[in-house]
């Protein structure tokens, strides 16, 4: 009797900074979105039959990974698989699939949720208990704070993003560290506070590359039992989408 290998699911997040792939066994492979190196990708995927579902905000990164995996059919969220949430959003055509996908993953796990994605941009998104996506806010990410300050105040030192910020700081380096880190944390705190006024019982779900830095900075609105850190929220959302009958 011939036994065929089970099909694995490959989820792909083509973000502004990185391309991240996750296998069924939760192993992660990543590369830079703008200068991708696919040398190890084939061995990561392996020879097991594979289906893939991707979310992309960088068209060139998606095109590159399609070329790197010519034998894998890659479905794309918002193109091949539509958003299963009701969208209370006036410009649906400009809504990034990564935003509703994170909200969808949070909703499936927690019900009403506010997602805080600490990536290249800082996005806050609200989904209510009925599964309605209400939008939220898009703000600069931590790297954008750094780049903006460097562009407009070139004489200042580069901030140490692993510093422990203090106020008042008593050196220029520490002042820059405190201003960038606490300024970004304060931005997040205000956005979350206002989002919570719309959906007070929502679970706060934090994700993205700078989520751990946000946790370390001790943002007051995230320091309670209603907050959870989910590092791979988009991959969780893609896996949930892949399990739905339409895929």
Residue 22 β-bridge partners: 11, 28
d(CA 48, CA 57): 28
98 assigned to active site: yes
Given the residues 98, 117, 128, 236, select the one marked as catalytic: 98
Quick check: 189 and 214 in contact, CB under 8 A? Answer: no
Quick check: 102 and 230 in contact, CB under 8 A? Answer: no
- Size of the chain in residues: 247
- Residues assigned a catalytic role: 98
């Amino acid at each position: 009797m011939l036994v065929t290998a089970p099909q694995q699911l490959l989820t792909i997040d083509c973000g502004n900074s990185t391309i991240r792939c996750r296998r069924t066994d939760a192993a992660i492979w990543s590369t830079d979105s703008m200068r991708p190196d696919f040398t190890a990708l084939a061995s990561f995927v392996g020879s097991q039959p594979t289906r893939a579902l991707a979310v992309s905000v960088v068209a060139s990164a998606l095109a590159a990974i399609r070329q790197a995996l010519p034998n894998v059919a890659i479905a794309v969220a918002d193109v091949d698989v539509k958003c299963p949430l009701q969208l209370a959003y006036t410009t649906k055509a400009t809504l990034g699939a990564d935003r509703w996908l994170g909200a969808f993953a949070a909703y499936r796990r927690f019900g009403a949720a506010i997602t805080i994605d600490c990536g290249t941009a800082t996005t806050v998104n609200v989904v209510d208990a009925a599964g309605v996506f209400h939008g939220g806010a898009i703000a600069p990410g931590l790297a954008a704070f750094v780049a903006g300050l460097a562009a407009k105040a070139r004489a200042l030192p580069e901030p140490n993003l692993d510093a422990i910020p203090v106020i008042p700081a008593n050196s220029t380096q520490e002042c820059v560290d405190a201003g960038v880190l606490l300024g970004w944390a304060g931005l997040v705190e205000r956005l979350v506070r206002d989002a919570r006024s719309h959906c007070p019982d929502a679970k706060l779900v934090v994700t993205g590359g700078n989520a751990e830095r946000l946790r370390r900075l001790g943002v007051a609105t995230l320091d309670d039992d209603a907050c959870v850190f989910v590092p791979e929220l988009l991959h969780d959302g893609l896996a949930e989408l892949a399990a739905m009958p339409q895929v």
